């Protein structure tokens, strides 16, 4: 193995913080511990900063450079992988949350989002103007800095990832300059690196995303026989603009969720409905407490999963706003879960999708036969179009299947089970893990990523070096170094 930039050399030459004074008037804390939502990553950085404006970001980056310290950003912390941990400087961007519409180009309206704005804050502005993003994650509490950095996705046969919606992005690079990358001004390859950079270009201050006029959709949820659905999956998926599948272990039915554009009056409850939010908050908490039982009594898993499936809102037919269709569940973050997700290109006949689903069904049966029940939530299958972002697991032409398994966090044998499933999934051509989900426990995963993504990683690194964005690798951490800076 060859290390391009030896991290130990850099650490040895770090300056003690007291030699360089802390940037004035930026709130900070020393040795304040951080951990992510899923409790799979943690750190105790020497200094945590709480910037409130772009000038603060610039001062913090200059401070990091002068003290030769590493620097990472924490948004909501909803990523499972160790993308955030650093011993040096952690920047909390929650207060940088301004959102405004940009109608300067009437043909292509956009929304300008500061990195700390949550999905909810962005939706509020968009909805006020009658606009929407065509896709999003279900959850509304994640922040755009994190969503764009990791290439997060929703679903939709003709949609790509959130990062693909980026028109321009402003990043504080290692020199302390605020650098703007803009479609039509910077070349496509640079844009495709900047739009999904895992925080390796620097601290994203804000980004502008393409938006569209909001519209109504027919949202249908139904239960269908599992085996028949798998058999006819191609016809099902390509007959809808959006179609997601959710399977609860031990159930012989599957939840099919679809939505398609329709010009009709809304028939569902209003989206901003306090009762609906309250109901979701209560049921999510009840669900969380019930799931806890499975840790003590895992043998109850098959019956409980059947019950959970029956309790899902998997039967309905309504006309709703597009935003409501996308964010159809509230309070999903109440229950801490483990989650592993990979992406691969869909075969013309969907044979590899069937295979990926069957891997989970078989592995679940195999474990159950031994009296083990590590999978107690769902398998989700979603489809999007290809991504242009160099580091996206959905990169390149062709539709992409994102398949994921979720289980209550701390479930015994989850690591073993999920890594066995992943090892089989990753044999599918060009399969790659979602950056934000669990993947570090999969044996040989860094070699796999470097092999499958190799050319794109090289192009990404070349761009970073050519543009002198981070010569001393101050924006890297251990996980990113292992994947991006070590050559086998
Ligand atoms: C319940 C749940 C549901 C989810 N559903 C989906 C889903 O449907 N689809 C999907 O694709 N993903 C999904 N995710 C994953 C989620 O979208 C990603 O983890 C996303 O990154 C979360 O945003 P965050 O604000 O928590 O980012 P964080 O986890 O805080 O940060 C993610 C990465 O972005 C970097 N970063 C954040 N802000 C900046 C910035 N300003 N500048 C530079 N780097 C920055 C961080 O350093 C880190 O590397 C889900 C996660 C949870 C917990």
Look at residue 7 in the predicted model and tell me its pLDDT.
37
- CATH 3.30.465.10 maps onto the chain at 1-213
Look at residue 3 in the predicted model and tell me its pLDDT.
33
CATH topology for 1-213 is 3.30.465
Look at residue 460 in the predicted model and tell me its pLDDT.
98
Look at residue 5 in the predicted model and tell me its pLDDT.
36
Q: Which one of 73, 97, 116, 405 would you pick to mutate in the ligand 1 pocket, going by the greatest count of ligand atoms within 8 A of its CB?
A: 73
Say how many Å lie between the CA of residue 116 and the centre of ligand 1.
11
* CATH level 2 (architecture), domain 216-443: 3-Layer(aba) Sandwich (3.40)
Low-confidence ranges of the chain (pLDDT < 70): 1-19, 487-488
Look at residue 11 in the predicted model and tell me its pLDDT.
39
With tokens 């597009």, the residue in question is 322
Say how many Å lie between the CA of residue 279 and the centre of ligand 1.
26
Say how many Å lie between the CA of residue 129 and the centre of ligand 1.
26
Look at residue 4 in the predicted model and tell me its pLDDT.
35
Reported pTM? 0.95
Q: Where are the beta strands (DSSP E) in 306-399?
A: 316-321, 337-345, 379-384
Contact 43/87 with Cβ under 8 angstroms? yes
**Which numbered atom of ligand 1 lies nearest the CA of 37?**
53
Residue nearest to atom 52 of ligand 1 (CA): 78
Look at residue 76 in the predicted model and tell me its pLDDT.
98
| Parallel/antiparallel/unpaired status of strands 42-43 and 110-114 | unpaired
Look at residue 17 in the predicted model and tell me its pLDDT.
56
Q: Which own/partner contact pairs does 12-17 have at CB distance under 8 Å and 24+ positions apart?
A: 13/68, 14/67, 14/68, 14/69, 14/88, 15/66, 15/67, 15/68, 16/67, 17/46, 17/47, 17/67, 17/69
Look at residue 9 in the predicted model and tell me its pLDDT.
34
Token pair in block for residue 221: 């949820």
186's enclosing H/E stretch is none
Does the Cβ of 327 fall within 6 Å of ligand 1? no
Look at residue 73 in the predicted model and tell me its pLDDT.
98
- CATH 3.40.462.10 maps onto the chain at 216-443
Length of the chain: 488
């Amino acid at each position: 193995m060859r290390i391009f930039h030896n991290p130990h050399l850099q650490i040895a030459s770090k300056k003690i913080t007291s030699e360089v004074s802390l940037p004035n008037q930026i709130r900070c804390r020393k040795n304040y511990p951080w951990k992510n939502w899923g409790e799979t990553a943690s750190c105790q950085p020497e200094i945590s900063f709480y910037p409130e404006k772009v000038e603060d970001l610039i001062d913090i980056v200059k401070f990091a450079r002068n003290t030769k310290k590493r620097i990472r950003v924490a948004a909501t912390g909803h990523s499972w992988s160790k993308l955030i941990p650093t011993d040096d400087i952690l920047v909390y961007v929650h207060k940088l949350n301004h959102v405004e519409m940009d109608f300067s180009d009437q043909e292509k309206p956009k929304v300008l989002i500061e990195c700390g704005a949550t999905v909810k804050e962005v939706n509020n502005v968009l909805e006020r103007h009658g606009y929407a993003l065509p896709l999003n994650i279900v959850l509304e509490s994640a922040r755009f800095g994190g969503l764009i950095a990791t290439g997060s996705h929703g679903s939709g046969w003709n949609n790509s990832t959130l990062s693909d919606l980026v028109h321009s992005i402003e990043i504080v690079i290692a020199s302390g300059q605020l650098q703007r990358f803009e479609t039509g001004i910077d070349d496509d390859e640079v844009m495709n690196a900047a739009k999904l950079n895992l925080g390796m270009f620097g601290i994203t201050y804000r980004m502008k995303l393409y938006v569209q006029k909001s519209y109504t959709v027919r949202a249908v949820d139904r239960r269908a026989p599992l085996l028949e659905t798998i058999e006819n999956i191609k016809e099902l998926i390509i007959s809808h603009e959006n179609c997601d599948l959710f399977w609860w272990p031990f159930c012989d039915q599957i939840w099919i969720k679809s939505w398609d554009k329709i010009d009709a009056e809304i028939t569902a409850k209003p989206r901003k409905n306090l009762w609906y939010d309250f109901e979701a908050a209560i049921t999510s908490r009840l669900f969380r407490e019930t799931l806890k039982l499975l840790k003590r009594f895992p043998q109850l898993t098959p019956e409980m999963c059947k019950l959970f499936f029956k309790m899902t809102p998997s039967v309905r037919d309504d006309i709703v706003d597009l935003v409501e269709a996308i964010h159809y569940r509230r309070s999903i973050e109440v229950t801490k879960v483990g989650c592993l997700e990979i992406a691969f290109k869909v075969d013309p006949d969907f044979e590899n999708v069937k295979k990926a689903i069957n891997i989970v069904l078989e592995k679940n049966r195999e474990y159950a036969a031994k009296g083990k029940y590590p999978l107690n939530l769902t398998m989700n299958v979603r489809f999007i179009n290809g991504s242009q972002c160099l580091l996206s697991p959905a990169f390149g032409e062709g539709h992409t299947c994102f398949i994921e398994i979720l289980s209550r966090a701390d479930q015994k044998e989850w690591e073993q089970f999920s890594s066995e499933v992943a090892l089989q999934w990753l044999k599918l051509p060009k399969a790659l893990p979602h950056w934000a989900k669990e993947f570090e426990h999969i044996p040989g995963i860094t070699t796999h990523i470097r092999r499958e993504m190799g050319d794109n990683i090289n192009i990404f690194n070349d761009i970073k070096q050519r543009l002198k964005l981070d010569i001393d690798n101050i924006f890297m951490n251990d996980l990113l170094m292992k994947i991006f800076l070590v050559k086998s």
